[in-house]
């Protein structure tokens, strides 16, 4: 058994900002604390005019459609503009004709950080609050941004307003500030990863819209797919881009190839201009091999699973973590379902995956101490990513492939792996705590570097840690080593 991991102390002038206490309060405060008035509601039988008049009288930007305490829909001032005025709709029609039905909601007891994550991910500005099935209020982007000005929700909104690449590049310069504020506010690594990835998704989606505006509508359906850390919603400030295109099987290279080549280059080059550098291994949609119809992707995965040679295993570490960002998501859903059916209980393939994963070991010494890099530019440091976080990501991926689990985020995979019996509940708890501790160390390290005007990296000097932090780091590495050993024994016994 291991003691619970604690996040490193973020105190110090390099992380402290004038509003640190305020940020911390917002991120941890229950959403019920942001409710400043009772919800403004109308019944489903009300007309559009009645809803608009009530919004004017109450001075609000939205109204909830509620009957007997149950939420049916949401109407915002944007709905009135776009669905009524612009569309020439008769305002005497029922309000349900323009309402967003079954809107996304959140329990009012959840912390405000979860509202930020949800609103950033879906680019929404109004979020009803619930107590069970009873609606209790509404929180808006304004409620949050007035008390936490540098938020992912605000950046996502700004991204979608930009008319060109130049505007997107300007917005992208605010990203380091977002990570610094999240670090100063003691946001968890799990939340930070989701929020920063939501911003990446927004840049990607906006560039896709600009590409289609420039090139015209696509000749066949497609899914723009994020891979790697973006797919897992685990991005930080130090990242490159990993992506691909899954095209409809109606794709014909002779007729459609030039369009999608220009399309992919526009988006990938745009992401690079916004700070998401081109993948050194060229695992991007602008590379022809990773811009293929669904039938070809199925062949790729069959080959990688049936013939797991070294290059195939390297590719699996990227392309077995996929998430659709834009387009026809069913294309990816179909591909992933087929892939998981092939990996479930596939002992030979999984044994190769285990062998590949065990190449990434924590930097533990002969007697269990921490062994930093001995020479070169990063002497005295440890690589938090490749010798700390990546081994846990690899373990979670193997559990997911062995059990045909659909989850992509590492924390989610670990939790589901425990539910499915792929790993013990104690093992999952320890691994999740170790991952959170290591990821927080990495985020804080990068935040300090950015505050000092340095480029963020993954190399943390061990001597910069307190005695307490070094002990926690050692415990985290011990957890990873132990679970790697368990998986190795399982592989040797052929128990998949």
Q: pLDDT tens-digit profile of 183-205? A: 877 788 988 898 899 899 999 99
Degrees, nearest 5: CA angle 238-241-247: 160
Structure tokens at 40: 């403004």
397-448 residue pLDDT tens:
999 999 999 999 999 999 999 888 888 999 999 999 999 999 999 999 999 9
**Which range scores top for mean pLDDT: 20-34, 289-303, 315-329, 335-349?**
289-303
Give yes or no for residue 10 having a pLDDT over 50.
no
Give the residue-averaged pLDDT of 348-369: 87
Smallest CA-to-CA distance from 171 within 207, 125, 128, 135 is with 207
From the CB of residue 173, how many other CB atoms can be counted at a distance below 10 Å?
10
Which tokens sit at 262?
Answer: 């220009």
Q: What is the mean pLDDT of the chain?
A: 87
| pLDDT band at 5; cut points 50, 70, 90 | low
Least confident of 53-67, 110-124, 144-158, 372-386: 144-158
Nearest residue to 194 via CA among 172, 177, 179? 179
Confidence of residue 483 (pLDDT cuts 50, 70, 90): very high
HSE, side-chain direction, 13 A CA sphere, residue 308:
17
The string of pLDDT tens digits covering residues 406-416 is 999 999 999 99
Of 147-156, 229-238, 410-419, 464-473, least confident by mean pLDDT is 147-156
Instruction: Return d(Cα 490, Cα 484) in angstroms, integer.
Output: 10
Q: Are 420 and 403 in contact (CB under 8 A)?
A: yes
For residue 7, name the pLDDT band (cuts at 50, 70, 90). very low
| Both structure tokens of 421 | 């019996």
- Lowest mean per-residue pLDDT among 109-123, 159-173, 320-334, 339-353: 109-123
φ/ψ (deg, to 5) at 272: -60, -40
Residue 169 scores a pLDDT above 50: yes
Pick the range with the lowest mean pLDDT from 138-142, 170-174, 250-254: 138-142
pLDDT at 289 over 50: yes
- Cβ neighbors of 257 (< 8 A, separation 6 or more) are none
Q: Report how far residue 344's alpha carbon sits from residue 430's, in angstroms, rounded to the nearest whole number.
A: 25
Question: Tens digit of pLDDT for each residue in 236-256?
Answer: 876 889 999 999 999 999 999
**Cα–Cα distances in angstroms (integers) from residue 397 to residues 26, 80, 318, 488, in the given order:** 33, 46, 11, 15
Considering 11-20, 348-357, 387-396, the range whose residues carry the highest mean pLDDT is: 387-396
Residue 495: per-residue pLDDT:
59
Positive or negative, the CA dihedral 195, 201, 206, 209 is negative
Single pTM value for the model: 0.76
Nearest CA among 73, 124, 69 for reference residue 94: 73
Per-residue pLDDT band at 368 (split at 50, 70, 90):
confident
Q: Which of 32, 57, 54 is nearest to 43 (CA)?
A: 54
Question: Does residue 259 surpass a pLDDT of 80?
Answer: yes
Distance CA 284, CA 271 (A): 11
Residue 6 pLDDT: 45
pLDDT of residue 24: 40
In this structure, the strands spanning 62-67 and 41-42 are parallel
**pLDDT over 70 percentage in the chain:** 91
Decide if 217 contacts 424 (C-beta within 8 A): no
The rounded distance, in Å, linking the Cα atoms of 60 and 284 is 44
Under the phi-then-psi rule, with left for phi > 0, alpha for psi from -120 to 50, and beta for the rest, what region is 275? left
Give the integer Cα–Cα distance in Å for 175 and 218: 30
Weakest mean pLDDT among 306-310, 380-384, 423-427? 306-310
The C-alpha angle 223, 226, 231, rounded to 5 degrees, equals 130
Pairing state between β 106-107 and 126-131 = parallel
Phi, psi angles (nearest 5°) of residue 264? -65, -40
Instruction: Give residue 37's pLDDT.
Output: 67
Largest CA distance in the chain: 78
pLDDT in tens, 32-43: 876 656 789 999
Q: Which is more confident, 308 or 214? A: 214
């Amino acid at each position: 058994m291991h003691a619970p991991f604690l996040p490193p102390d973020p105190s110090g002038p390099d992380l402290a900002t004038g509003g640190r206490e305020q940020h911390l309060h917002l991120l941890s405060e229950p959403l019920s604390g942001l409710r400043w008035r009772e919800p403004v509601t109308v019944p489903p039988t009300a007309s559009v005019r009645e809803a608009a008049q009530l919004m004017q009288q109450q001075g609000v930007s939205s109204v909830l459609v509620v009957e007997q305490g149950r939420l049916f829909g949401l109407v915002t001032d944007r709905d009135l503009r776009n669905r009524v005025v612009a569309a020439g709709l008769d305002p005497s029609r029922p309000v349900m004709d323009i309402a967003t039905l079954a809107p996304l909601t959140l329990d009012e007891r959840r912390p405000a950080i979860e509202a930020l994550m949800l609103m950033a991910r879906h680019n929404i500005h109004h979020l009803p609050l619930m107590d069970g099935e009873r609606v209790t209020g509404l929180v808006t982007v304004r409620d949050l941004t007035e008390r936490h000005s540098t938020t992912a929700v605000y950046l996502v909104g700004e991204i979608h307003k930009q008319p060109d690449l130049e505007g997107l590049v300007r917005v992208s310069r605010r990203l380091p500030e977002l990570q610094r504020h999240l670090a100063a506010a003691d946001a968890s690594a799990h939340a930070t990863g989701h929020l920063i990835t939501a911003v990446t998704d927004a840049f990607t989606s906006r560039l896709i819209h600009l590409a289609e505006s420039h090139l015209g509508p696509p000749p066949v359906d497609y899914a723009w797919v994020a891979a790697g850390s973006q797919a897992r919603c685990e991005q930080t400030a130090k990242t490159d881009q990993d992506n691909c295109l899954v095209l409809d099987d109606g794709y014909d290279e002779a007729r459609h190839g030039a369009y999608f080549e220009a399309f992919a280059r526009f988006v990938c080059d745009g992401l690079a201009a916004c700070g998401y550098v081109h993948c050194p291994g060229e695992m991007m949609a602008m590379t022809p091999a990773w811009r293929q119809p669904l039938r070809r992707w199925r062949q790729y995965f069959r080959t990688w699973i049936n013939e797991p040679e070294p290059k195939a295993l390297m590719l699996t570490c990227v392309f077995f973590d996929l998430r659709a960002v834009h387009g026809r998501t069913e294309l990816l859903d179909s591909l992933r379902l087929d892939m998981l059916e092939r990996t479930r209980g596939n002992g030979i393939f999984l044994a190769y995956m285990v062998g590949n994963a065990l190449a990434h070991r924590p930097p533990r010494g002969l007697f269990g101490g921490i062994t930093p890099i001995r020479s070169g530019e990063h002497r005295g440091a440890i690589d938090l990513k490749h010798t700390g976080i990546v081994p846990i990501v690899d373990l979670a991926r193997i559990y997911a492939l062995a059990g045909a689990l659909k989850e992509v985020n590492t924390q989610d995979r670990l939790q589901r792996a425990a539910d499915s019996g792929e790993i013990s509940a104690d093992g999952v708890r320890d691994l999740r705590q170790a991952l959170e501790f290591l990821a927080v160390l990495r985020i804080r390290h990068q935040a300090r570097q950015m505050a000092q005007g340095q480029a963020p990296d993954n190399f943390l000097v061990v001597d910069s840690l307190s005695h307490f932090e070094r002990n926690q780091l050692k415990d985290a590495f011990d957890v990873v080593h132990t679970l790697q050993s368990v998986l190795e024994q399982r592989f040797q016994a052929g128990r998949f």
